[in-house]
Amino acid sequence: MEYDHIGHGVGRVDGWEKVTGEAKFLRDFSIAGMLYGKILRSPYPHARIVCIDTKKARALPGVKAVITADETPKIKFGFVPQLADKLPLAIDKVRYIGDEIAAIAALDEEIAEEALSLIDVEYEELPAVFEVEEAIRPDAPKIHGNETNIAFKIFRRFGDVEEGFAKSDDIFVDRYSTHRVTHCCLETRGCIAFFAKSGKITVWSTTQTPYGMRNELSRILGIPPSQIRIRKTHVGGGFGSRLVMDMNEPIATLLSKYTGRPVAIFNTREDEFHYSANRYPFMVELKTGVKKDGTLVARKATVLVDNGAYNERGTSTLANAASSFIYLYRTRHIYFEGSLVYTNNLHGSAFRGFGNPQITFAMECQMDRISEKLGIDPAEIRLKNIFNSGEETASGAVIRGSGLYESIKRAVRESGWSVRRGERTSENIGTGMAITIHTGGGVRSYKYNAADAFINVHEDGKATVLVGVSEQGQGATTVLTQIVAEETGIPLSDITISQTDTDINPVDSGCFGSRSTYVLGNAVRSGAIDVKKQMLATSAEVLKANSSDLEMKFGSIYVKGSVAPSLSAKDAIQAHYGKGRPLSGRGRFVDEIPELDAVSGYGSFFPAYSYSCTIATVQVNPDNGNVDVLELVSANDLGKILNPLGAEGQVEGSLLQGLGYAFFEEVRMRNGQITNGSFLDYNLPTALELCPIKVVLLECSEDSGPYGAKGIGESPLVSVAPAIANAIYDAIGVRLNDLPFKKENILSLQKKKGQKPKG
């Protein structure tokens, strides 16, 4: 079906105000009487707080408040309330370098910084532990005073994995590790909070989840959510970093309560690197049993995750990794055991892919080893074992709208896979592939997966859309604008998507799980159809026709098959108001949740899935370990493509971030201290490192999505690193089981195995 706006490349509707500087980011806000907050943090990874002396800081001119744990409700925070373990300000103990101890509000940031230096804290240092395998030993320091440092365990058992291994012709056992990386958003985190005398709290924040933050603040402060208003500002990048509230928001709110004035806390770039949570490192032991023909029989994953000092999104990140492990390949006997382990490191958080890049790295590297041992082409063994649409996993999840088969086939064709794999040269060039399954429509276990949308059409023909969208640079507002324009005929330039405000916009869970296009798109389309019905009813009166005989196309309403006069959308709107009728629409999308068992993992936890296949071609210099990525081909099934321009940009951004994950980025730590906490020392891929990229967008429709669409924001990143690892092996015969890929590791593995370059 041809659409007026859907399926067409549309520039960013928020682009003009951003490139001209009209868009207001958090730092652009200045509220009368605003104070500036700063946080005193622990210099030790593990220590007992003996006493805190704030007298000198309180006496400094310009300081309006100094607070410690004594001025807080002392309610522990955690994404999962039952596992809450983090206080806004530490009471008795600090557990990582950066743990919050005290906070100051002053007339300006310089005074606040000076006041921090005047706070005297006496510590008693305690033994610390920084490695996961050491932390789970019985004699390890107990970070939270529990019997063990295992914060959370997850089990997924389907079939009989030991029986499956017994029936296998060959068994493969490998260990893999992934590393800690940080989000590197251009805008640092921060907030402005005002605790009014009425008890009403307003927080301006760079959050991805306005309603989620409202609920989190409510829990940690012991204040009803209706008393808290979150006003989302423009966001300079998120990638999951703004999914969960950090302690800036409750601390700023408490400082405002004690001063009676708005308080702003803005992270410096140093704060962002040293104290902002990052991607969880995984250690994976993977065991797979197969038949001689390449059929997977049994698979077992044992996973250790460095949780850091506190629980945040570790539980759900681990659960999502388990789902990816179960859903990617058809295996009836499957077992997943994951442990979230406390250490005295900076705690982890959500990051694009949400546990999937870590587990998929292990799965796809091992799949390549299996294919080589069995003498089966890597593409063919994957095609043989992936799920097809309508099939059910061992965990009871129904695979919907799968375009993974087509993604593999197209990637193979576009990359020249067969030719490249058949040629061996002396240039140490290799080609490798990896595949991905990821949610394309949110997560059903997060209470609800639904949204409302309100569309207010004005008398001059323009429209304002109220929906809980959390635009963070991904282009969600553009897609939603296209949907309204498609259904109502109102020009794109006349449609405004309002910034999310929890006192005004309808409830939505926020931006995560590649859900915005799927969930909000369905809700907005529903509201736009409501508006369209009213426009057609009025147009039928004007044109003296039945509304069922009318059609809207290219912004005009006319009688189907007739040469009679037509009405523009604006004419229809004005005629509607001319009859004394207000024009607005309400939309709603509710993803009906099937029966789920969160403990066992049984059921369909995702309404839709996105699929990707990445093929990497590399050239390796065996003398110095240098790897040049010559090409990345990424084939992706994202259902109906609503905006090809935006979709291609999303894929390209994912691939570049995947390159960073594979080679360049790594948070380096020594005894709990980050040692490369600046853009000078933390390596990011730039335009100079960007290799030729070929993006293939496939439309394997997802019936439940808006026009058949689903999310694509995360899936392409996931398979980049394993595809490159497999390409490096194809080039020089060295298997890299640890991220990131380092030159010295390549050289040492070559020397250790005594392998010579292929050719």
pTM for the complete prediction? 0.96
CB 528 within 8 A of CB 487: yes
Residue 40: enclosing H or E segment and its boundaries?
strand 35-41
Q: Render pLDDT for 302-343 as a digit per residue (tens, 0 to 9).
A: 999 999 999 989 999 999 999 999 999 999 999 999 999 999
The DSSP symbol for 397 reads P
CB 497 within 8 A of CB 477: yes
CA torsion sign, 131 to 134 to 139 to 145?
positive
What is the arithmetic mean of pLDDT over 717-741? Answer: 97
Q: What mean pLDDT is reported for the chain? A: 95
CATH number of 31-126+186-237+242-275: 3.90.1170.50
Whole-number Å distance between alpha carbons of 236 and 474: 11
Give the model's pLDDT for residue 422: 61
- The three state secondary structure string of 607-633 is CCEEEEEEEEEEEEECCCCEEEEEEEE
CB 628 within 8 A of CB 618: yes
- Is residue 759 very low, low, confident or very high in pLDDT (cuts 50, 70, 90)? very low
CB 396 within 8 A of CB 604: yes
Whole-number Å distance between alpha carbons of 568 and 758: 67
Nearest to residue 17, comparing CAs of 208, 242, 206, 234?
234
Q: Is 39 exposed, middle or buried (0-12, 13-18, 19+ CB in 10 A)?
A: buried
Would the pLDDT of 757 be above 70?
no
Would the pLDDT of 54 be above 90?
yes
Phi and psi, residue 701, nearest 5°: -60, 140
Q: Render pLDDT for 100-136 as a digit per residue (tens, 0 to 9).
A: 999 999 999 999 999 999 999 999 999 999 999 999 9
Nearest to residue 263, comparing CAs of 105, 115, 419, 378?
105
Residue 752 CB contacts under 8 Å (≥ 6 apart), including other chains: none
C-alpha distance across the termini of the chain, in Å: 51
Spacing of C-alpha 562 from chain mean position: 50
User: What is the SS3 assignment for 702?
Assistant: coil
Q: 290 pairs with which residues across the strands?
A: 170, 296
Whole-number Å distance between alpha carbons of 615 and 338: 29
What is the arithmetic mean of pLDDT over 477-482? Answer: 97
- Is residue 506 very low, low, confident or very high in pLDDT (cuts 50, 70, 90)? very high
Range with the poorest average pLDDT among 113-122, 408-417, 442-451: 442-451
Q: Render pLDDT for 62-105 as a digit per residue (tens, 0 to 9).
A: 999 999 999 999 999 988 888 999 999 999 999 999 999 999 99
Q: Render pLDDT for 620-641 as a digit per residue (tens, 0 to 9).
A: 998 999 999 999 999 999 999 9
Whole-number Å distance between alpha carbons of 610 and 637: 6
Domain 130-180+278-386, second-level architecture: 2-Layer Sandwich (3.30)
Whole-number Å distance between alpha carbons of 360 and 92: 40
Phi and psi, residue 132, nearest 5°: -60, -45
* DSSP secondary structure letters along 356-371: HHHHHHHHHHHHHHHH
So what CATH class is 15-22+450-590? Answer: alpha beta
Amino acid at 658: G
- Domain residue spans of the chain: 15-22+450-590, 31-126+186-237+242-275, 130-180+278-386, 400-443+606-759
Whole-number Å distance between alpha carbons of 307 and 343: 7
Whole-number Å distance between alpha carbons of 330 and 93: 47
Same fold, 15-22+450-590 and 400-443+606-759: yes
What is the arithmetic mean of pLDDT over 448-464? Answer: 96
Per-residue burial over 182-214, b = 16 or more CB atoms within 10 Å of its CB, e = otherwise: bbbbebbbbbbbbbeeeeebbbbbbbbbbbbbb
CATH number of 400-443+606-759: 3.30.365.10
Would the pLDDT of 756 be above 60?
no
Token couple for 483: 């949907």
Would the pLDDT of 248 be above 70?
yes
Nearest to residue 269, comparing CAs of 686, 717, 674, 739?
674
* DSSP secondary structure letters along 262-319: -EEEE--HHHHHHHS-BPPPEEEEEEEEE-TTS-EEEEEEEEEEEEESS-SSHHHHHH
CB 538 within 8 A of CB 552: no
Centre a 10 Å sphere on the Cβ of residue 344 and count the other Cβ atoms it contains.
Answer: 26
Q: To the nearest whole percent, how much of the chain has pLDDT over 70?
A: 99
Q: Render pLDDT for 591-617 as a digit per residue (tens, 0 to 9).
A: 999 999 999 999 999 999 999 999 999
Q: Render pLDDT for 362-394 as a digit per residue (tens, 0 to 9).
A: 999 999 999 999 999 999 999 999 999 999 999
Q: Within 13 Å and on the Cβ side, how many CA atoms surround 636?
A: 35
Whole-number Å distance between alpha carbons of 357 and 122: 42
Strand order in the sheet with 282-290: 150-158, 333-342, 296-308, 282-290, 170-177
Do strands 450-457 and 463-467 pair parallel, antiparallel, or not at all (unpaired)? antiparallel
Would the pLDDT of 253 be above 50?
yes
**In 413-545, where do the E strands start and end?**
429-439, 450-457, 463-467, 495-497
Q: Render pLDDT for 530-589 as a digit per residue (tens, 0 to 9).
A: 999 999 999 999 999 999 999 998 899 999 888 777 899 999 999 999 999 999 999 999
Nearest to residue 239, comparing CAs of 190, 189, 282?
189
Q: Look up tokens 């029936």; give the residue.
A: 167
